[in-house]
Amino acid sequence: MQAIVIHKAGDLRIEERPSARPGPGEVLVRLAVGGVCGSDLHYYNHGGFGPVRLKEPMILGHEVSGHVTELGAGVEGLSVGDLVAVSPSRPCGHCRYCTEGLRNQCLNMRFYGSAMPFPHVQGAFREELVVDASQCVVANGLSAAEAAMAEPLSVTLHATRRAGEMLGKKVLVTGCGPIGTLAILAARRAGAAEIVATDLAANALAVASSAGADRLINAADDPEALSAYEEGNGAFDVFYECSGAQPALAAGIAAMRPRGVILQLGLGGDMSVPMMALTSKELELRGSFRFHEEFAVAVSLMRSGLIDVKPLITHTVQLREAETAFEIANDRSRAMKAQIDFS
């Protein structure tokens, strides 16, 4: 079978890899669609991010869907032919954090396409994938492209849980790539009353508008626009920082009302924090990393029509042109979510 393998920054190859058969409790999935994520781009552009660096060739990809083609012994609740969204989150279930219910913080996490451990955890961008049956969530009724969006949607659902009470809140979202735009959808579904979204790209803001943002701010055209929200010691109750950019974090903190909650999702490296404002306003800065149990919820929300991810899917290319998908995803002036068709 063919797989998409990163060797070093800028060196992406389509290579042959051996196929496998499912064992007990496993299923074989014929991949249908894979979405290019920001972390995939970090490996493609830079060979890693922060201290995480490629040390060996690694199959990329963790936003995937496909069709079940074979069941291992003892598998129940799945049938051959089912469209499934495949969760890349594979905690061990036995470490300290798993037993405490913090499975996204598993000490032995096997998250697809991750160079954090060595040997690296090989990713899901391959024509066939043997997975634990527990990773599969039936997505019949969705398109394969929609089902592959369950992973990024889960990231924002986890962040929204981390935020706490959302009903009637005024929300700020900085950075309207896929995660920021999905955060708008998640916050609105959770009851946010007003959502203000900022970005540097007009096309990203257009998609944010279609996702339900009430006000759009192009920070490239008006970098001081958020200062209007500083009056009266701030306006926002909840702040999703999805850009990973220090200026966005600082401007957002200045616009927060006392005892607001900041959710840091953007991974742009270490940033300085305006600690005096954080302290004097009694703000809570909360990290939000990956997800686990939210994955099935993401699929359910899409299947029931409560969240529509279709406007985010802007480009689809064939497997043989996989590098084109990465080039498109790198161009924020035209792309929101680029996906690869493995069918």
Say what the pLDDT of residue 132 is: 97
Q: How far apart are CA 117 and CA 110, in angstroms?
A: 9
25 φ/ψ sector (left φ>0, alpha ψ -120 to 50, else beta): left
DSSP, residue by residue, 190-223: TT-SEEEEEES-HHHHHHHHHTT-SEEEETTT-T
Amino acid of residue 267: L
Domains in the chain with CATH codes? 2-149+309-341 (3.90.180.10), 155-287 (3.40.50.720)
Torsion angle, CA of 8/12/15/17, rounded to 10 degrees? 60
Per-residue pLDDT tens listing for the chain (343 residues): 999 999 999 999 999 999 999 999 999 999 999 999 999 999 999 999 888 999 999 999 999 999 999 999 999 999 999 999 999 999 999 999 999 999 999 999 999 999 999 999 999 999 999 999 999 999 999 999 999 999 999 999 999 999 999 999 999 999 999 999 999 999 999 999 999 999 999 999 999 999 999 999 999 999 999 999 999 999 999 999 999 999 999 999 999 999 999 999 998 778 899 999 999 999 999 999 999 999 999 999 999 999 999 999 999 999 999 999 999 999 988 899 999 999 8
Say what the pLDDT of residue 50 is: 83
Indicate the pTM of the whole model.
0.95
Q: Could you tell me the maximum CA-CA distance found in the chain, to the nearest angstrom?
A: 63
222-229 long-range Cβ contacts below 8 angstroms, 24+ apart: 225/198, 226/172, 226/198, 226/251, 226/252, 226/254, 226/255, 227/251, 227/254, 227/255, 229/172, 229/196, 229/255
Query: Any idea what the Cα angle at residue 54 is, between residues 12 and 27, rounded to 5°?
Result: 75
Say what the pLDDT of residue 270 is: 83
